[in-house]
Amino acid sequence: MKKLTVLALAGAALMFTACNDKKETVKDAQEVAAKTGEAYKVDLATSNVNWKAFHKGGFAPRWGTLNLKSGEITVENDAVTSGDFVIDMTTLKVDPASVTEADKKPADLEAHLKNEDFFNVSKNPTSDFKITSVADLTGELPKDAVAGANKTVSGNLTLLGKTLNVSFPAKVTVDEGKAAIEAKFTVNRADWGIKFGTDETDPAEWMISKDIEIGINVNAAK
């Protein structure tokens, strides 16, 4: 049985939050959008992925970042038509400000997140997201949607080698040779088979929220 000290680290591990009351739509992988229009290269220095996590009940929040390894957005008639982004899992960072316990260290948590208990970075050094569609936003927004959201972005998200399609509201802008996508959404880690405990009755599993809050900030230019 895994020790509670390890379990405490696990609460931060999976980028999950129990605070959102609406999950994004997740389904089987879809056909990737055709790359029509002009290619814009992602600015790796100003683009990243943010994550946030909790134990169930909102305890022990943790947060941090991941860097993009590469990326491209295509634009036609001032509209984003496609995009693909490779996430460098080896860059996973825990913000030291989120680790307030005296006996916990951000570096130890980072190492734990990267090992075989979670993202197994040695075997899965990258994850990726490939846009399948960009449509005008309709319907009610979830509470965690970014301000100014104007589009629904759908794409194939690959984690631990498993690919599922997720849709979420996003703020998408194209202006004077630059394009940007900003979004924040919540999905269920179990959909990708990410489990720390051996089964649902294992305290190592049920004490961790299954929700994952992901923030996307992508900037690209011609």
pLDDT for 115 equals 86
- Which tokens go with 35? 């790359």
pLDDT for 7 equals 36
Which is higher by pLDDT, 41 or 208? Answer: 41
**Dist. CA 60–CA 7, nearest whole Å:** 11
**Dist. CA 186–CA 210, nearest whole Å:** 10
The mean pLDDT of 152-180, rounded to a whole number, is: 96
**Residue 104, class by beta-carbon neighbours within 10 Å (0-12 exposed, 13-18 middle, 19+ buried)?**
middle
Which is higher by pLDDT, 217 or 138? Answer: 217
- Give every CB contact of residue 4 below 8 A, 6+ residues apart in sequence: none
The mean pLDDT of 97-111, rounded to a whole number, is: 86
Which is higher by pLDDT, 216 or 105? Answer: 216
Entry pTM: 0.83
pLDDT in tens, 29-82: 999 999 999 999 999 999 999 998 776 666 778 889 999 999 999 999 999 999
Which is higher by pLDDT, 2 or 98? Answer: 98
**Dist. CA 149–CA 119, nearest whole Å:** 30
pLDDT of residue 136 exceeding 70, the answer is yes
pLDDT for 65 equals 96
**Dist. CA 195–CA 148, nearest whole Å:** 34
Which is higher by pLDDT, 205 or 192? Answer: 192
pLDDT for 201 equals 62
Average pLDDT value over all residues in the chain: 84
pLDDT for 204 equals 60
- Which tokens go with 93? 């960072």
**Dist. CA 81–CA 38, nearest whole Å:** 9
Provide the percentage of residues in the chain whose pLDDT is more than 70: 82
25 phi, psi to nearest 5 deg = -70, 125
